[in-house]
Amino acid sequence: MNLTPEQIRNIIVYVLTLIISVAVHEWGHAYMADRLGDNTPRREGRVTLNPLAHADPIGTFLLPLITAVYAASSGRISGGFGWGKPVMTQPNNYTRKYSMATGLALVSIAGPLMNIVLALVVATVHGVLLWQNVLAPDSKIHLGLIQAVYMNFTLFFFNMLPIPPMLDGSKVLARFVPYRHRSKLDNVAVYGFAILAAFMLIPQLQQVFLVPARFCGDQVYELILRLVR
């Protein structure tokens, strides 16, 4: 396997971008749980943006690196999936202002929402740099910032898939499912890993989260181009 210097650089940029995006995502979970009154994430050192506090050796480093190298060697854009170390939280410690289900839903959605925030912040900075002619449209930084924006939109829509028990969307969905029907979610959770694997590996199913991610990224950059012209 012979990779060009440019491919190696793209792989490094991709993995570093994913590490930062995962850290922001997991920080969102930890911060919200902390705000709701559960000090478990704080005691475990998770209320921080330090990527090392949220990194999973396999999900944050090894798997993204392997998939990025494989994509580059196959002539495709570096890409793949990754995850961080789950934030441990005790819903019993949440403030009584909210039900336990509501608190858990707030903690769950906080992570994906932070990916949206990061995407918008990066896109805004990108737009300012283009407006001030700091970046050339064909520069490596320009392309890296675009990748970061689309990656974070993808992480949002992927994590919001209502696949129990792994993805955040399932906990948000549980908040709106009547209590007497929540056992049905538990029944689906038995097949959760298989369902998740299908969405990760089958290109047709990937479109469920890739299409809206591309749409949002396109709309954001269309707005930016209007502002900088």
Report yes or no: 200 and 81 within 8 Å, Cβ to Cβ: yes
Closest by CA position to 120, among listed 131, 110, 128: 128
DSSP 59-127: IIIIHHHHHHHHHHHTTS-------BPPPP--GGGS-TTS-HHHHHHHHHHHHHHHHHHHHHHHHHHHH
Q: Which pairs from 141-144 meet CB under 8 Å and 24+ separation?
A: 144/13, 144/17
Return the SS3 of 55: strand
Per the annotation, the verdict on 26 as an active-site residue is yes
Given 6, 26, 44, 222, the catalytic residue: 26
- H/E run at residue 217: helix 203-228
Task: Count CA atoms closer than 13 A to 106's CA, side-chain side.
Answer: 18
For 28-64, give one letter per residue: b (16+ CB within 10 A) or e.
Answer: bbbbbbbebebeebeeeebbbeebebbbbeebbeebb
Report yes or no: 117 and 25 within 8 Å, Cβ to Cβ: no
Give catalytic residue positions: 26
